[in-house]
Amino acid sequence: MATYKGIKGVKVVTKATDPTASEATGTVWYNSTSPTALKYAIQGTGAWASGTAAPGAVNQAGGAGITTAFLMWGGSPITATCNSYDGTSWTATNSLNLAIAGTAGVGTQTAALGAAGYAPSLTPAYTNAAEEFDGTCWASVNADSNKTLMGYIGLTGIQTAALSIGGYGPGPGYSNKCSEYDGTNWTTANVFPSPTGSVFALGTQTAAVAMGGQPSYGTSGSDYDGTSWSAGDSINTGRAEGQAGGINTAGIIAGGASPTLQKVTETYDGSSWTEVGDMATARSLPANGYSNVAAATSSCIVATGGDGTPVKSTAVEEWSDPVYTIKTVTVS
C-alpha cells in the first residue's frame, strides 16, 4: 500500500494551526488541535464577473490602474473624455488635450501615461504624442521621436519607466521599433524580433514579456531584460488587440482578435501559459486596467471594447483570482 511519505518523500507534518490555504496548496498536514483532522488545500479556478457598465461605448481606449482604481480615456468614436472607476461607479474627470483612439496606457489612476494613436484632428492623423495624468489633469509630454505616425503600440511598465513595443501606421506599416520612457524623455531601445502591432505586453521596463500581435496573430512570445530581446514562451491561442498585465512571472491576457473576436483568458507563471476561465463577451481593443508591476491578478479589469457589431460595447468585466480552500480528509 502506498504511503504519503513514499509518494511525496516526506512525512505528514503535524501543525497546531492550519496554514493559509494558498501557502498550503498541494500539501497534506495533520491539525493536532481542535478539531483534529488530516487536511489538505486545493486551488479553485479564477473567473470573470460583470462590473458596472462604462459611461460610453467605445473601443481602442487607453486604460490604467486596477479594478478598484481604474482610469479610462479616449477611444473610438473619437473622444477626449476620461473617466475613473472605483470598482462600483464611474466618475467623469478632466479630458485629454487630444481626442485620440488606438492609444495605449500604463500606470495608475493617479499617475497614468497614454501614448501614440489615431487623432483625426491632426495631419497626418497617426501620432507619436504622449500625455500624463496626475489624478486631476492631463498634460502633454514629450512625443516618442523614435516612432512617428504610429498607433496600436504595445505598452508596459509605469508612468516613469515605460516600454513601447512596435505599432502600426499607414506610412511605415507595422514596426519593430521599441522605445523606453523615463518620465521625461523617450530613448531608442533594441528592436523587437519582428514588426508587430497591437501586441500583448506585460511586466516592467527591465523585465517585460510580449506575445501575439498583428499581422500574423501568432502565438510566439519574447522576453526583454532591459537591453535585449530573446525567445520567450508561447501563448496557446494566437491573437492580438486584447488585454494584458502583470509581471513576467505572474501575468494574464484576455480577449483580442485572431482575427475573429476572442474571449479566451490565459495566465502565466514565468514558464508556461495556461488557459483559464473565458470572458463572458468576446471582444477586441478594450481599455484594460491591470498593474504591470504587481502579480495581483485579482485587480484586473476589461472595459468596453469591440463586440463584433457596429455599436461598441459598454460591458465591463472584472477578474477574480483562484480561490484556495482547505479541505478535511475523510476516511471511510
User: Going from the N-terminus, what domains does the chain have, and what CATH number goes with each?
Assistant: 4-43 (no CATH), 47-320 (2.120.10.80)
C-alpha cell, 120: 483625426
Average pLDDT over residues 281-308: 70
Average pLDDT over residues 10-20: 82
| Burial environment of residue 298 by CB neighbours within 10 A (0 to 12, 13 to 18, 19 or more) | middle
pLDDT confidence tier of residue 8, bands split at 50, 70 and 90:
low
Whole-angstrom distance, CA of residue 118 vs CA of residue 102 = 6
pLDDT confidence tier of residue 296, bands split at 50, 70 and 90:
very low
- At 54 the pLDDT is 92
| Model confidence pLDDT, tens digit, residues 305-327 | 776 666 688 889 988 877 677 77
The cell 513576467 sits on which residue? Answer: 248
Largest CA distance in the chain: 77
| Model confidence pLDDT, tens digit, residues 127-177 | 999 999 999 999 999 999 999 899 999 999 999 999 999 999 998 899 999
| Burial environment of residue 331 by CB neighbours within 10 A (0 to 12, 13 to 18, 19 or more) | exposed
Buried-state track 246-271, b at ≥16 Cβ within 10 A, e below 16: bbbebbbbbbbbbeebbbbbbbbeee
Q: Which residues pair with 204 in a beta bridge?
A: 207
pLDDT confidence tier of residue 63, bands split at 50, 70 and 90:
very high
C-alpha cell, 268: 502565466
Average pLDDT, the chain: 89
Average pLDDT over residues 50-79: 92
The dihedral region occupied by 293, where left means phi > 0, alpha psi between -120 and 50, and beta the remainder, is: alpha
- At 107 the pLDDT is 93
The dihedral region occupied by 256, where left means phi > 0, alpha psi between -120 and 50, and beta the remainder, is: left
